[in-house]
């Protein structure tokens, strides 16, 4: 939702939301790439991205180690996706204490509010709904 209100609509853009968990949105030329729930991919043997960088990890690790983990994730995404722009928002983005590359931008929740209005269009067009892997149908 936030991504649709933030991105420029030019090139390959990624939005991270760092808060309770780890949210991601991939957007190409203004079009949301549907059916991707990258937060549930494993990053270590026992942790997915939500567990690795979410609020519980921040509280357990502290700011320094949490920032090191976020830097690791940024490097992974830079290598794998070769994005044009990365946007980072969410409640824990205020704890980022390292210098960001020129193509990485911090955004506020206010920046993403207008994305909510566009979300229904995407859900209708692509039948996009979030489903956690632990939820059985």
Where residue 34 sits, what CATH number does that domain have?
3.30.420.40
What is residue 21's predicted lDDT score, i.e. its pLDDT? 93
Q: Is residue 132 domain-resident? A: no
Look up the pTM and report it: 0.81
| b/e map 71-106, b = 16+ CB within 10 Å | eebbeebeeeeebebbbbbbebbeebeeeeeeebbe
Q: Is residue 136 domain-resident? A: no
Average pLDDT for 109-133: 57
The total of structural domains in the chain comes to 1
What is residue 75's predicted lDDT score, i.e. its pLDDT? 98
Distance CA 108, CA 2 (A): 10
Mean confidence (pLDDT) of the chain: 85
pLDDT in tens, 45-103: 999 999 999 999 999 999 999 999 999 999 999 999 999 999 999 999 999 999 999 99
Phi-psi region of 55 (alpha: psi -120 to 50; beta: other; left: phi over 0): alpha
pLDDT band (50, 70, 90) for residue 115: low
Q: Is residue 134 domain-resident? A: no
Q: Is residue 50 domain-resident? A: yes
Question: For residue 113, is pLDDT > 70?
Answer: no
Q: Is residue 131 domain-resident? A: no
Which alpha helices (H) appear in 7-99, and where do they start and end? 49-53, 55-61, 63-81
Q: Is residue 82 domain-resident? A: yes
Identify the H or E element spanning 119.
helix 109-126
Under 8 Å CB-to-CB from 46, ≥6 apart: which residues? Answer: none
Q: Is residue 137 domain-resident? A: no
Q: Is residue 16 domain-resident? A: yes
Question: For residue 11, is pLDDT > 90?
Answer: yes
pLDDT band (50, 70, 90) for residue 112: low
Question: For residue 120, is pLDDT > 60?
Answer: no
pLDDT band (50, 70, 90) for residue 5: confident
Give residue 19's domain range: 2-126
Question: For residue 137, is pLDDT > 80?
Answer: no
């Amino acid at each position: 939702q936030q991504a649709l209100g933030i991105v420029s609509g030019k090139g390959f853009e990624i939005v991270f939301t760092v808060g309770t968990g780890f949210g991601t949105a991939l957007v190409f030329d203004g079009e949301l790439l549907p059916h991707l729930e990258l937060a549930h991919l494993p990053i270590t043997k026992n942790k997915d991205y939500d567990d690795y960088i979410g609020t519980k990890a921040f509280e357990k690790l502290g700011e320094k180690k949490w920032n090191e983990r976020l830097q690791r994730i940024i490097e992974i995404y830079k290598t794998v996706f070769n994005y044009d722009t990365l946007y980072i928002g969410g409640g824990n983005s205020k704890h980022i204490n390292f210098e960001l590359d020129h193509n990485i931008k911090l955004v506020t929740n206010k920046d993403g509010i207008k994305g909510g209005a566009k979300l229904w269009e995407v859900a209708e067009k692509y039948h996009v709904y979030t489903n956690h892997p632990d939820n059985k149908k």
